[in-house]
Amino acid sequence: MFLPTIDPEKCEGCGECVDACPTGILELGEDNKARVTDPAECQGCETCVTVCPNEAVTLQEV
Ligand code: SF4
Ligand code: SF4
């Protein structure tokens, strides 16, 4: 299983990862930072890592 993590220090809330995630498990929170809603559904596709302009997303295999 894969676990995406968003670094709030680096995220600027552009929404690119939210729009690009094929399983729709990323959203922007009230603080305008991306967050993961349902990690169990992550496919480990790395799309979120690739599209983030700020290198805010890291993906771990757990
Ligand atoms: S690795 Fe893929 S499925 Fe998982 S959160 Fe990122 S874009 Fe979504
Ligand atoms: S693509 Fe990067 S900067 Fe944009 S919302 Fe996602 S984590 Fe934040």
Q: Is the pTM of this model over 0.85?
A: yes
Cα–Cα distance between 44 and 41 in angstroms, integer?
A: 9
| CATH class of the 2-61 domain in this structure | alpha beta
Cα–Cα distance between 49 and 20 in angstroms, integer?
A: 10
The domain segmentation of the chain, as residue ranges, is 2-61
Ligand 1 pocket: which of 17, 26, 46, 48 to mutate (most atoms within 8 A of CB): 48
Q: Whose CA is nearest to atom 2 of ligand 2?
A: 52
Q: Residue 3's pLDDT is what? A: 95
pLDDT in tens, the chain (62 residues): 999 999 999 999 999 999 999 999 999 999 999 999 999 999 999 999 999 999 999 999 98
Long-range contacts of 40-46 (CB under 8 A, 24+ apart): 40/1, 42/1, 42/2, 42/3, 42/4, 43/2, 44/1, 44/2
Cα–Cα distance between 26 and 10 in angstroms, integer?
A: 16
Q: Residue 18's pLDDT is what? A: 98
C-alpha of residue 42 to centroid of ligand 2, in Å? 16
